[in-house]
Structure 1
């Protein structure tokens, strides 16, 4: 029997049985809620209401995905807002805008912006390390999270996950990167506060980084002799032979390119993009260095890199190549001598054994050297003196090898410290 007034109550069966017609039509539910049926058969829950004297409408979803009960609940929520003097349509638009903003401002998207801005200030090796850190240790857990939803507890959990696998150094690097990204998010008004600013002390202290180096001439001579007898690939053997002669950073050594070699001037010209200090650097090439490069040129000279990867020929060897080769020679790279150790070896012996000016040595190491007025020297500063120094250094290394063969170190007067 129909209710008073002759109006039939709207039920779930009413919604189910509503058939499409030639034109859109509506079936009223109650209190402004109605079902809108389209000629295609699609059915939509709508809610008609008035706010500030104007008639407005809200959509509450599509039937049957949204049931009658759910549509009524959504309508009732809107009516509660109306009783509070709030336009539910405006609330809906604000919520949608917030969701769209969060979808466009995930941690990964903000980190990508930060990377793009910082990349020009980094050496290529540094950029790759940052990208790998984000890709392997941060994005899988934070990448899709809206940046304004990232909390300090999320960051602590992520860092402790890295620490728990024993990667203390990686965890500390991750903390630094997270702080910089979250600070950038605050600077660009994505967040009100930096959630990474309170991470100090959450990780175990990292041990003092130890880069072992042989600085005793006799022991270094034995290392040079071992390198001469390296039985791995010719490319790696040449790389090993050049490391003590040129003593540049391992990342710079492995990424040496043929186009950077000036045969006429006998120099290796490194672009600022490869350098830690972001300044161009010139490395004078001794006769011994030129001979090694000339020997390797027929093998790799048509490729971009002097020391190409064995599998991916247009890429350079991996960062672990030098240490791996030293380990094959029987050297413990954590306690005896490592790839970076060639720099310390050269600095110590060029100063203590050969007596060259520290200013020249530091400049050749590509360290930041400033004059008395605080100005950075340019890349060609003291180049004639450094060229002579690099040749005498290579000659000294030959004598160390000869002494190792004879088990008798030869000491020569190769230079005097200038006053």
Structure 2
């Protein structure tokens, strides 16, 4: 039967304590009646293969409606793999700050280099929400945050912050179901991702399509306005088509001039896999030209004031923005340029992808192919190098 207040008020005690289960939608919900006539609510559940009872409060201090609600809330906690008795009568709900910490910790564990930048951007615009329980955040909160960013003229940044917040809440939802998190002292108890309801500003985004022509590559290669270090960085980007971070954060120990191989470890690549690149004659010349500027630093491009860290990526971007010999471009455009112009001279896309360390997601590449393609990469880059040298020689 389904409990009612009339039923509870009319129930009679027996010589010993006994329990009555409700036959309804709230699984395990019941009442315990003592020999003295006291009535308390409980929920029966199984945890670690054992039957357990959880006290929901004494009637009538706790109403029947409140007891039902406590039963449902406790069931949610159990479904998340948490024993309500070991966690206490109330499990703490994680705050927005806890949600951000969980996100940043996940980024650092998975080797994401931008964790501190993400933390800075979210903190900058969302710090006033940090003390709120994460499960109280609504689409209105998200909308207001993004509106503030857009008002200061940063539409692209608003999209970035939206993406960070969306990922934060996704990981918060995963957190409560992750067996590794069962020892945590809080849960987020998120039923929805509040960012889903807030649309991305599509008008602020544009897919890059800038690829330098061979004539522009020639002008850029021979530009004299850049410092020697930045000039060499640009030439290495044009030779290998790498990500700017892969070039300017390179270390001396990655270069093997005996084997003529540049070996980028998984900690420095986006797909977390080794990237082996051949050191061709032109690359060797560029590294030799760069060496006097490396000082005693382990980095090829040491910071201006410290040998212990490389230059900042933004420094390269700022330097490139001052180039006037060709139309405006950004470092990422050089990667697109190499991909495009290598194709023009007949280098197959699969080889261009391997040189640029793009993820290959076909079954064969993902699970079976462990060949390094170093010989094929060398032949392809030598072909591309020949084109660059011919451009330089036509001055």
Give ranges in structure 1 of 5+ residues lacking alignment. 1-51, 54-81, 88-96, 406-419
Which residue of 357, 360, 375 maps to 1:366?
357
1:307–1:316: 8 Å Cα contact kept in structure 2? yes
* d(CA) in 2 for partners of 1:195, 1:231: 47
2:211–2:334: 8 Å Cα contact kept in structure 1? yes
Residue aligning to 1:112:
101
CA RMSD in angstroms comes to 3.2
Residue aligning to 1:141:
128
Change (3 A) 1:324 1:193: same
Change (3 A) 1:271 1:221: same
* d(CA) in 1 for partners of 2:109, 2:209: 28
SS of residue in 2 equivalent to 1:320: helix
Which residue of 39, 61, 74 maps to 1:85?
61
SS of residue in 2 equivalent to 1:265: coil
Q: Decide which structure has the larger Cα Rg and report it.
A: 1
Structure 1 residues 288-336: Cα deviation after superposition (integer angstroms, max 9, x where no partner) = 211221232243152132111212332211222333222222167xx64
Dislocated runs of 4+, deviation >6 Å: 97-100
TM-score for both structures, normalised by structure 2:
0.68
CA drift of 1:283 comes to 1.6
1:213–1:341: 8 Å Cα contact kept in structure 2? yes
Change (3 A) 1:202 1:394: closer
Structure 1 residues 6-36: Cα deviation after superposition (integer angstroms, max 9, x where no partner) = xxxxxxxxxxxxxxxxxxxxxxxxxxxxxxx
With 289-298 and 241-250 compared, the bigger mean Cα shift is at: 289-298
CA drift of 1:158 comes to 1.0
SS of residue in 1 equivalent to 2:205: coil
SS of residue in 2 equivalent to 1:136: helix
SS of residue in 2 equivalent to 1:268: strand
* d(CA) in 1 for partners of 2:222, 2:311: 23
Which residue of 369, 380, 388 maps to 1:389?
380
Aligned residues: 308
Mapped pair 1:224 → 2:221: yes
Residue aligning to 2:392:
401
Mapped pair 1:344 → 2:336: yes
Give ranges in structure 2 of 5+ residues lacking alignment. 1-35, 38-57, 64-87, 177-186
Mapped pair 1:208 → 2:206: yes
* d(CA) in 2 for partners of 1:202, 1:141: 22
Residue aligning to 2:118:
130
Change (3 A) 1:159 1:331: farther
CA drift of 1:380 comes to 4.9
Mapped pair 1:313 → 2:307: yes
